[in-house]
Structure 1
Amino acid sequence: MRNEDTATERRHHVATAGATDFLTETHLEGQEHGRVALRALAGRLSVSPPAVSRMAQRMARRGLVKREGACGLALTEQGLRIAMRALRKRRIFEVFLVRQLGYGWHEVYPVAAPVSNTLDDELVERMYQRLGHPARCPHGDPIPGLDGSIAQPPSRALSELGEGERGVIGRIGSHDSEMLRYLNSIGIRPGVPLMVVARAPFSGPLRARLGEGDHAYDQALGVELASRVWVEPASAFA
């Protein structure tokens, strides 16, 4: 009998974790693109569009999401609270992996994402205390407060900056492992100061000067990569 109970609890946990992932990715997709298309959400979750549509219907019945237009989706207030709580746990755990276990900032997402929702709330808060109340995850994204509030500093995509404009890399808007590994290998990471020194016309590549003083160097970036690098005023990055 106990084995049956355990199996039931395990199925319930998986369903809950799946719903939390759905809500979290819905929020992130809306944050990055302004609206949430079901096909784009399917790509983020690595499932088929019909599977996302079925999940959206279940979440709507639970009052966690609502439809926007023919193919759009938005979180309700309750759904947003769940997503913010999950993001807080994930991002705190990512900081823990980097500072305490020696992971690279570009390595933590695939480690943290599958397990962070399973962590005990009190355990995560103790991590947060021990880590000194970090404000951001290793990718530069702000960590939501316990009340779900989130301080999003002003930023612009590197692809939008003109020649001579400068700032500090605030966050990297991607969780693609290969992309993050490449960006890290060329010195593109949160906290690095930069200045755009040249831009090719017609959406061509740009050249950014990374770092300052004697250690500065120039690095070329295509528009696609540059659009994932978010730059903040130096005063905003902490």
Structure 2
Amino acid sequence: MPATSPAIEDYLKTVYAHTEWQPDPITPKALADKLGVAPSSVTEMVKKMAANGLISHVPYGPLRLTDAGRARALSVVRRHRLIETWLVAEMGYAWDEVHDEAEVLEHSLSDRLLEAIDVRLGRPTRDPHGDAIPSASGEVASEPFVLLSEAPTAHVGRVIRISDRDPEVLRELERRGIRPGVEIVVTDAAGEPVTLQAAGEAGELARDVATAIWVTA
């Protein structure tokens, strides 16, 4: 299996994404769960990726990308997030509809077309969900953040990122006007639901919804 196969790209992207918003490295079991594959499949793929110099791994230990693996992962992440941004900006997709399309297109777009999309969009640095779009040279913008569900009462922060794992959550937040860039003031962090002001409007969010929102620290 070549080092640039779609399967390897999916693995690299998943390993990278796991530590993008929290510090703990991914375990083989967690990787299998995220990809929906058998643990034995992960074991075999990890061996191939290690042989290709893309990942470092000790038996029963967590998985970490090598420098080469991280560079390749960032290339795939860049493709995915630029495609999502393009689909929303120019193709009429809603932000809860783009993930699956990008999963397919990220493996097939040429570098030339991707560059043309990047230029046409004005070289965006964030996708519709607030995730950073890596530059062509592998640079990733970041700033201090906190999960909204963990923010204390009276915390004031701007929404940086909203997880795209649950389209229904995205649709609910769309209805509430909560998007990246919106300012949120936590008025009561201890209760269930969390009470807050978003863009000046008072409201409530179930705690499981609040766990999908990252705000500036």
Aligned pairs (5 A) from 1:48-197: 48-67=38-57, 70-197=60-187
Supply the AA of the counterpart residue of 1:84: L
Supply the AA of the counterpart residue of 2:196: A
- 8 Å CA contact retained: 2:86, 2:121: yes
Aligned with 1:156: secondary structure?
A: strand
- 8 Å CA contact retained: 2:153, 2:190: no
- 8 Å CA contact retained: 1:106, 1:184: no
**CA-to-aligned-CA distance 1:81-134 (integer Å, 9 cap, x gap):** 110011111111111100101111222111111221210011011101011111
**CA-to-aligned-CA distance 1:184-235 (integer Å, 9 cap, x gap):** 333332122111111335xx431121112xxx1312321x3212200026xx
Aligned to 2:214: 230
Aligned pair 1:217/2:202, yes or no?
Answer: yes
**Alpha-carbon distance change, 181 to 41 in structure 1, aligned in 2, over 3 angstroms:** farther
Supply the AA of the counterpart residue of 2:193: P
- Deviating more after overlay: 26-35 vs 118-127: 26-35
**CA-to-aligned-CA distance 1:9-30 (integer Å, 9 cap, x gap):** xx979x8011101101011112
Aligned with 2:134: secondary structure?
A: coil
Supply the AA of the counterpart residue of 2:216: E
TM-score by length of 2: 0.91
Aligned with 1:183: secondary structure?
A: helix
Distance 1:187 1:35 in 2: 33
Aligned to 1:207: 195
- 8 Å CA contact retained: 2:149, 2:189: no
Aligned with 1:118: secondary structure?
A: coil
Aligned residues: CA RMSD:
2.0
- Deviating more after overlay: 97-106 vs 173-182: 173-182
User: Offset of 1:69 from its aligned partner?
Assistant: 6.7
**Higher CA-based Rg:** 1
Distance 2:203 2:98 in 1: 27
Supply the AA of the counterpart residue of 2:128: P
**Alpha-carbon distance change, 180 to 47 in structure 1, aligned in 2, over 3 angstroms:** farther
Distance 2:206 2:105 in 1: 33
Name structure 2 gaps, 5 residues minimum: none
Distance 1:85 1:71 in 2: 26
- 8 Å CA contact retained: 1:210, 1:219: no
Supply the AA of the counterpart residue of 1:231: V
Considering fraction of residues, name the structure with more helix: 1
**Alpha-carbon distance change, 174 to 95 in structure 1, aligned in 2, over 3 angstroms:** closer
